[in-house]
Amino acid sequence: MYVTLLFDVEDLVDPRSDDSALSTARIFSEEGAPATMMIVGEKVRLWEARGRSDVIAAMREHDCGLHTNRHSIHPTVAEYLEGKGWEDGIEEVVAQEASGVEAMVRVLGRAPSCWGRGGSTWGPQVAPALKRLGIPAMVYTFTHLGSRQLPMHRFCDCLSYYWYYGGFDEAFSDAAAYEAAAAAAAEHLGQCAREGVPWVGLFVCHPTKLRAKAFWDALNFSHGLNTPRECWRLPEYRSEAEWDRAQANLRRFARMLANMPGVQLRTIAEMNRLVAPEPTTVSAAILRAQAEHAARAPQIDCTEPVLSPAERLYLWALLYLNPGAEAITWRYVEGPTQEPPALPGERVLEPAQLRSAARQLCEEVGRSGRLPASLLCGQSQIGPGALYRALAAALADPSKPVRVRPGPEVPQLGEQLAQEVRQGIPGWMHKPQLDVSSHAALTRLQSWTLKPVQLLG
């Protein structure tokens, strides 16, 4: 089982936190436990300005991801995406996060292996923006496939890591708390290994909280507050004895993980290289088999291998228009960005109507790269969900009409993710009354792009 160790390196207020990050990175290097350090872009710039070449060198011994550009300083990611649509939201993410990428390349000598949300601040436009920023993956995402057995997935063509366990900020400085935390971590990893889980993200801690008794941002940036620099509040620190104990326990933890049977420590950068590439073509046999399965399923499934529902629909349309093809060229297909119309009642679609709708879909994907929200079918509009059900049934015999009933226009998982976004994003780190309706709606629509990934070997 692969395990990635994750640390959030983010205190932008207290210079003393640099030493906590330095000690943490050195301990895990010395114990042969490579980690992915999720570092805020502003933190990298602060190290550069302070001349902390020692911290920079220690971080370079590990993998590094971008833990947003400015974390809790307002506007946060969710705040700057408030009310944004799809394309303007992507452009906003690129504009806001680019300087964080640039800082990591300039100071740490390489681009981030991934991007990870800070706290609960996120929006679905981040995923496509990362490709434009040259970042291959995302961690701490709100999207998932609903199972620990499928911990890695693609969302909007972005490799995404969802399931993680841990967070032992308070435990390392306390003897009894550490023993309980270490035992719980070992038990969790053992259980995952027994269940055949392929990858686990183990979030170890925020290095700053090994010494600080409170979070830097809770003191200065909670609920929309932007405290001026000259008024920043610094947290109370633990005693030197507690700090010594924290470092000793941190070393014990690193040593335990580095030597745990059945566990292979891999950074996110290493995991990215273990992911199987996308297909170049998909055989007609696979497409027909997935269509047969979909025709019997009440919902649009995101957990089928190889193809997302959006890619599947597009390739089905091509196969329907070219029934003699033995294979169809694969391409990534984005989900719709507007709400599809609901089918008002049961309809019978003739082959000529289906061919027309299939051609429209293929033309739109060729033009924009995404599914259209609606298609003209006869005298009325239908959504991609209705066409999905129609083509799944029609591929069994393209010469016959198909009966299509009202049903979901987005994958069922999209409804769940939208609810989790509505509940999960608002909170202490955002301004009051943050409107996350567009975040939820676009996450729901882009659930068309969800699919599991496969590992090489």
Side chain identity, residue 180 = A
Q: Is the pLDDT of residue 222 over 90?
A: yes
pLDDT at 426 over 90: yes
Q: How confident is the model at residue 21 (pLDDT cuts 50, 70, 90)?
A: very high
Q: Which of 371, 394, 155, 154 is nearest to 294 (CA)?
A: 394
Name the percent of the chain lying above pLDDT 70: 100
* Domain span at 167: 2-274
| Residue 396 scores a pLDDT above 90 | no
Q: What pLDDT score does 134 carry?
A: 97
Output the domain CATH number for residue 118. Answer: 3.20.20.370
Cα(189)–Cα(261) distance, integer angstroms:
10
Q: How confident is the model at residue 398 (pLDDT cuts 50, 70, 90)?
A: confident
Tokens of 295: 């025709």
Examine residue 179 and state whether it is found in any structural domain, yes or no. Answer: yes
Same domain, 302 and 242: no
pLDDT digits (tens, 9 = 90+) for 194-209: 999 999 999 999 999 9
> pLDDT tens-digit profile of 52-65?
999 999 999 999 99
Backbone angles phi, psi at 8, to 5 degrees: -105, 110
Query: Quick one: pLDDT at residue 243?
Result: 97
Q: Tokens for 54, please give them.
A: 């020692």
CA distances from residue 332 to 276, 278, 356 in whole angstroms, order as listed: 15, 9, 22
Alpha helices in 152-229 (DSSP H): 175-195, 216-220
Residue 300, pLDDT > 80, answer yes
* 418, part of any domain: no
Q: Are residues 125 and 169 in the same domain?
A: yes
Instruction: Give a yes or no: residue 236 inside a domain.
Output: yes
> Which pLDDT band, with edges at 50, 70 and 90, does 457 fall under?
confident
pLDDT digits (tens, 9 = 90+) for 37-53: 999 999 999 999 999 99
Distance separating alpha carbons of residues 91 and 279, to the nearest angstrom:
28
Number of domains in the chain: 2
pLDDT tens-digit readout, 263-278: 999 999 999 999 999 9
The two beta strands, 115-116 and 137-139, are parallel
Residue 361 lies in a domain: yes
- 264's CB contacts (< 8 A; 6+ apart) are 1, 2, 3
**Do the Cβ atoms of 365 and 291 come closer than 8 Å?**
no
Same domain, 231 and 250: yes
Instruction: Count how many Cα atoms sit within 13 Å of the Cα of residue 59 in the half-sphere of its side chain.
Output: 31
Mean pLDDT value across residues 422-426: 97
Are 219 and 287 contained in the same domain? no
Q: What is the mean pLDDT of the chain?
A: 96
Question: Has residue 379 got a pLDDT over 80?
Answer: no
| Amino acid at position 141, single letter | T
Tokens 């780190």 sit at which residue?
A: 429
Q: What would the two tokens of residue 247 be?
A: 């470092």
Residue 313 counted as domain residue = yes
d(CA 386, CA 343): 7
Q: Is 105 in the same domain as 157?
A: yes
What is the DSSP secondary-structure string of 227-249? --GGGPPPPPB--HHHHHHHHHH
The answer to the question of residue 415 being in a domain is no
Nearest CA-CA partner of 214 in 198, 226, 232, 196: 232
* Residues comprising the chain, all counted: 457
Q: Are residues 40 and 159 located together in one domain of the fold?
A: yes
Residue 446 lies inside a defined structural domain of this protein: no
User: Could you give the percent of the chain with pLDDT greater than 90?
Assistant: 95
Q: Identify the domain boundary among 215, 239, 274.
A: 274
Q: How far is CA 131 from CA 269, 426, 441, in A?
A: 15, 26, 22
Q: What is the DSSP letter of 345?
A: S
- In angstroms, the Cα distances linking 309 to 93, 300, 304, 454 are 26, 7, 8, 17
**How many whole angstroms separate alpha carbon 268 and alpha carbon 266?**
7
CA dist., res. 271 & res. 152, Å (int): 10
The phi, psi pair for 158, rounded to 5°, reads -110, 125
Kindly state whether residues 112 and 241 are assigned to the same domain. yes
Residues 115 and 233 in one domain: yes
Q: What is the mean pLDDT of residues 219-228?
A: 96
pLDDT above 90: residue 163: no
- According to DSSP, the residues that pair with 349 across neighbouring strands are 402
Q: What are phi and psi of 115, to 5 degrees?
A: -125, 140
When pLDDT is cut at 50, 70 and 90, the band that residue 164 belongs to is confident
Q: For the residues 162-172, what does the mean pLDDT come to?
A: 91
Rounded-to-integer distance, Cα 65 and Cα 126, Å:
14
Regarding whether 240 and 308 lie in a shared domain, the answer is: no
Q: What band does 397 get if pLDDT is binned at 50, 70 and 90? A: confident
Q: What does the alpha-carbon distance between residue 399 and residue 149 come to, in Å, rounded to a whole number? A: 40
CA–CA distance from 227 to each of 70, 125, 172, 213, 280 (Å)? 14, 28, 30, 19, 52
Which one of 392, 409, 426 terminates a domain? 409
Q: Are 155 and 191 in contact (CB under 8 A)?
A: no
